[in-house]
Amino acid sequence: MAATIKSVEKAIDLLFLFDGDRSVMDVKTIARTLGIPLRTTYRLANTLRNRSVLTIEERTGLCRLGPRLRSLLAAIDDSADIPRLAGPFLAALARTTGETAQLYLPHGDEVLLVEIAESPHVLRAGPRKGQRIPLHCGAGAKAVFAFQSPEEWEAYIRRNGLKPYGPNTVTSPQKLKQDLLRIRRTRFAVSHQEFIPGVRSLGVPLQDATDRVMGSLGLVGPDTRLTLARARGLKPLMQKTATAISAAVWGRSNSAARGSDRPSPSPPRPGVARRAYPVSRSHFSRRQT
């Protein structure tokens, strides 16, 4: 493993403590969250302030991100093409498993299928790129929904009900909550015919460097080929691929990902990406030869 500069790592970790939910923090909170001495935290904060990427109120010690960071937005917008960055990992997963790999991002009460790598088999199954899927339907959607708060689950059910889309769509609020709690604990979802008849799907969450769930990795195939036993056996590969995508797209470290493999009684901090993509219908497809 390449050598790293620990002080630079800590400075970057400090900056990533701030987000839309936590835009102001005092130095003591930063030190406690990072697990480093208060004196070290003051030196880091002052160094970042000298470079205009952090502001510190002298009277209160409250810290905020500095306006200079806005200059990075243009570069980030040009390079952070999520489907492009995730594409090679999806392709490798599809080659290895022989099934269609998918990348989902949250969009309100749905997830959007923003990228796929098709199965090499003639018979393929699953929604098309650009399709929107309700949060209560299928493994890819539930792998996102499970990491919202129970209050958000209740609000979703009140807004939308639990409309059936496939033969096995969960329409009982109690059963849905049980499913979501299990997915949150295991970080792995399997569904069968919840959105499309004859289809089994798998899903695992994708997380950023602060543990927020930003989307999900899905795998889908005909149930005659993607059996339940085979689906369960693919869990380690799915989670390994999700770790690689999370690192490439959102900068999540391998050490953080290893920690997330342990059961989680409480959800990571929420994160929702809101982008619009074209909508199309789900399908079974048979490759033309």
Q: Domain 6-73 class?
A: mainly alpha
pLDDT at residue 46, rounded to an integer: 93
Taking the model in full, what pTM does it have?
Answer: 0.69
> In angstroms, rounded to a whole number, what is the distance separating the alpha carbons of residues 46 and 252?
26
- Give the up-direction half-sphere exposure of residue 156: CA atoms within 13 A in the CB hemisphere: 23
Task: Name, in order, each residue with C-beta under 8 angstroms of 185's C-beta and a sequence gap of 6 or more.
Answer: 263, 264, 265
CATH 3.30.450.40 fits 80-286, yes or no: yes
Per-residue pLDDT of the chain (289 residues), as tens digits, is 567 788 899 999 999 898 777 889 999 999 999 999 999 999 999 999 999 999 999 888 899 999 888 877 766 655 458 898 999 999 999 999 999 999 999 988 999 999 999 999 999 888 889 899 999 999 999 999 999 999 999 999 999 999 999 999 999 999 999 999 999 999 999 999 999 999 999 999 999 888 899 999 999 999 999 999 999 999 999 999 999 999 998 887 654 555 444 444 344 444 444 333 333 333 344 433 2
pLDDT at residue 257, rounded to an integer: 52
Domain ranges of the chain: 6-73, 80-286
> In angstroms, rounded to a whole number, what is the distance separating the alpha carbons of residues 74 and 60?
32
Hey, do 6-73 and 80-286 end up sharing a CATH topology, with the first three levels equal?
no
